[in-house]
Amino acid sequence: MPESTMPQPPRTVLVTGAAGGLGRAIAEGFAAAGDRVAIADINFDGAQATAEAIRGTGADARAFKVDVTDLASVTELAAGVAEFGNGSIDVVVNNAAIYATIKRSPFEQIDPDEWDLVMGVNLKGPWLVTRAASPYLPDGGRVVNLASATIFSGSAEWAHYVASKGGVVALSRVLAKELGARNITVNALAPGFTLTEASYGHMDNAETYGVDRGSIKRASQPEDMVGAALFLASRGAGYITGQTLVVDGGRQFI
Mean pLDDT score, 64-71: 98
pLDDT digits (tens, 9 = 90+) for 9-49: 899 999 999 999 999 999 999 999 999 999 999 999 999 99
* CA nearest neighbour of 231 among 168, 126, 142: 142
Mean pLDDT score, 143-166: 93
Instruction: Identify the pLDDT of residue 203.
Output: 58
Q: Where is pLDDT greater, at 253 or 137?
A: 137
- Taking the CA of residue 129 as centre, how many other CA atoms within 13 Å lie in the half-sphere pointing to its CB? 36
| pTM check: above 0.85 | yes
The rounded percent of the chain whose pLDDT value lies above 90 is 76
Instruction: Identify the pLDDT of residue 220.
Output: 63
pLDDT band at 199 (very low <50, low <70, confident <90, very high): low
* CA nearest neighbour of 222 among 43, 60, 17: 17
Rounded CA-CA distance 184/181 in Å is 7
Find residue 40's DSSP bridge partners: 16, 64
Least confident of 65-74, 196-205, 221-230: 196-205
Average pLDDT of the chain to the nearest whole number = 91
Q: Which domains does the chain have, with CATH numbers?
A: 6-247 (3.40.50.720)
* CA nearest neighbour of 199 among 210, 183, 187, 185: 210
Sequence letter at residue 212: D
Burial class (CB in 10 A: 0-12, 13-18, 19+), 4: exposed
pLDDT digits (tens, 9 = 90+) for 72-120: 999 999 999 999 999 999 999 999 999 878 888 999 999 999 999 999 9
Helix (H, G, I), strand (E, B) or coil at 130: helix
Query: Annotated catalytic, 161?
Result: yes
Helix (H, G, I), strand (E, B) or coil at 151: helix
Catalytic position from the list 99, 161, 209, 239: 161
7 CB-near residues (< 8 Å, 6+ apart): none
pLDDT band at 127 (very low <50, low <70, confident <90, very high): very high
Instruction: Identify the pLDDT of residue 49.
Output: 98
Instruction: Identify the pLDDT of residue 1.
Output: 42
* CA nearest neighbour of 49 among 70, 75, 18, 80: 18
Q: Where is pLDDT greater, at 156 or 146?
A: 146
| Torsion angle, alpha carbons of 108, 112, 114, 119, to 10 | 100
